[in-house]
Amino acid sequence: MLEIHGHGAVTEISLARPPVNALDGALLDRLVEALASSVQAGARALVVSGRPGLFSAGIDVRALLALERDGVADYWRRFFGTLRAIAGCPVPIGAAITGHSPAGGAVLGLFCDHRIMADGAFAIGLNEVRVGLPLPEVILAALRRQVGARRAEHLGVGGRMLSPAAALECGLVDRVVAAGEVVSATVGWARELVELPPLAMLATRANARADLVALFDDIGPADCARMADRWMADETQQTMRAVLASLGRKP
């Protein structure tokens, strides 16, 4: 599900769950473990990447549709836990967005320190509303932090998908480079940070990201249960199944 690549002081964690790096519970757990173990092994910065042309298609809709309500609530516990692990990672973490990045894929990037996206005919955005799922407040708050309140409302409520250039213009990503240079550019960003005096850099980073980490202070079982209720709602179920059917996949 993951591939680990060393780049000196920087460790790259590459999502590798065919066919589309869909985020099921097992992949989320593995990602959290890889973040922690990489730091423990001495990585001074991290990069999360995907495969060429695709970062992640987001949550594994087909897997979630097969779960009962309690299983869905547990999934959201793991999903929020993964975002918390990214937000609170003790070293800088960059997202090498190697291609398409809808919904949960874009969300992973939101909680990283920096996002570099591949140029080309790719799309990124929080399109949850278009597939029948309300955006949780913690994700909306991270989006507001990234692009500002008015743009966050526009993007979130409308479920907008953006080209790399439009994502750069509104601040959803920080840089756009040629598709073959995404990983090397993100590793280069990380190396610039690890070359700085580490105590000063890390302390400043922790202060700068404290508000992002604090978004998770009040998230608990009730929030996961609420997301499960939303997932099990008729509108969400029908919309999700229709989306899968349009893609030629059985729910």
What is the pLDDT, as a whole number, of residue 148? 97
Domain-embedded: residue 225: no
Tens-digit pLDDT profile for residues 192-239 = 999 999 999 999 999 999 999 999 999 999 999 999 999 999 999 999
| Domain total in the chain | 1
Q: What is the CATH number of the domain that holds 77?
A: 3.90.226.10
Tens-digit pLDDT profile for residues 38-57 = 999 999 999 999 999 999 99
Is the whole-model pTM more than 0.85? yes
Tens-digit pLDDT profile for residues 152-169 = 999 999 999 999 999 999
Domain-embedded: residue 193: yes
What six digits make up the tokens of 164? 């790399």
Domain-embedded: residue 113: yes
Neighbour order of strands in the sheet with 2-7:
2-7, 10-15, 45-49, 93-97, 114-118, 175-177
Instruction: Supply angle C-alpha 227, 228, 230, rounded to 5.
Output: 65
Q: How far apart are the C-alpha atoms of 227 and 237, rounded to whole Å?
A: 13
User: At which residue do the structure tokens 């473990």 appear?
Assistant: 33
Question: What residue numbers bound the domain in which 47 lies?
Answer: 2-199
Domain-embedded: residue 152: yes
Query: Residues 87, 216: contact at Cβ < 8 Å?
Result: yes
